[in-house]
Amino acid sequence: MSQSLLEARGITHSFDYTLFTDINFSLAPSESAAIVGRSGSGKSTLLHIFSTFMKPDEGKVTLFGENLYSLNDDEIEALRRYDVGIIFQFHYLFKGMSAMENIEVASMLSGEAIEDAILEKLEIKELMTKKVGELSGGQQQRVSIARVLSKKPRIIFADEPTGNLDQETAELVMDVLLDYIKETGAGLLLVTHDASMATRCDKTYRLGDKVLKEEV
């Protein structure tokens, strides 16, 4: 399959001021890309646009060959449930439930089972019976990453997935994400402030002065 997983053309968006204009981006199967840029430059907004959660003022986003703005609500819902994996800047877990229960909810919704190997690689297998509220921030972050991977997404959007982690744990998370896309042909688009994470991706783009440019 040589077709792009994600294709964005002419994306322009403003809130109080113009955030970015005429952004073009594409992501191929098994490809990893990082977006870097100053705080407030619009990285998270761009990720929301690419991942079906926001419609830009102008432009077109195609995911797995489907024009997002020609899909109905059920079709968008199906994309989110089965195909799109999102690791948010702030992780959303159900605090009253155990780590395992959180992962099971995602597995149930998508009909895919979590692999023990992923829990082991993320070093959270022993934490599964603990309530999320009893876990450290970085442990919660890794549970939320396992939760996203458990549904076997075809593309992963990750907004600072290693933001709360020490260097060693951050490398571990990158290993897991990069192994996952190599094994499955999924794509990875990651926003990060950490240059050492960005350089592990196939490509790095900088968002600044309202444009997205590949760094070479």
Ligand X SMILES: Nc1ncnc2c1ncn2[C@@H]1O[C@H](COP(=O)(O)OP(=O)(O)OP(=O)(O)O)[C@@H](O)[C@H]1O
Q: Quick check: 164 binds Mg ion (CB under 5 A)?
A: no
Q: 79 with 110: CB under 8 angstroms?
A: no
DSSP alpha helices (H): ranges in 111-136? 116-121
Residue whose tokens read 């968002």 = 207
Least CB distance to Mg ion at residue 48 (A): 10
- Number of residues binding to Mg ion, judged by CB under 5 A: 1
Least CB distance to Mg ion at residue 159 (A): 6
| Token pair belonging to 72 | 């109905």
Residue type, 148: V
CB burial readout 57-95, b (16+ within 10 A) else e: eebebbbeeeebeeeeeeebeebbebbbbbbbeebebee
**Residues between 85 and 124 with contacts to ligand X, criterion CB under 6 A:** none
Least CB distance to ligand X at residue 97 (A): 27
**Residues between 35 and 54 with contacts to Mg ion, criterion CB under 5 A:** 44
Q: Which option in Mg ion, ligand X, none does residue 42 bind, with CB closer than 5 to 8 A by kind?
A: ligand X
Q: Quick check: 198 binds ligand X (CB under 6 A)?
A: no
| Token pair belonging to 117 | 């190997």
**Residues between 61 and 90 with contacts to ligand X, criterion CB under 6 A:** none
Least CB distance to ligand X at residue 25 (A): 15
**Residues between 13 and 72 with contacts to ligand X, criterion CB under 6 A:** 15, 19, 37, 39-45
Q: Which option in Mg ion, ligand X, none does residue 19 bind, with CB closer than 5 to 8 A by kind?
A: ligand X
The residue (of 44 and 169) whose beta carbon lies closer to Mg ion is 44
Whole-angstrom Cα distance, residue 59 to residue 23? 8
- Number of residues binding to ligand X, judged by CB under 6 A: 10
Beta strands in the chain (DSSP E): 6-14, 18-27, 32-36, 58-63, 66-67, 84-87, 155-159, 187-191, 203-208, 211-215
Contacts to Mg ion by CB under 5 A: 44
Contacts to ligand X by CB under 6 A: 15, 19, 37, 39-45
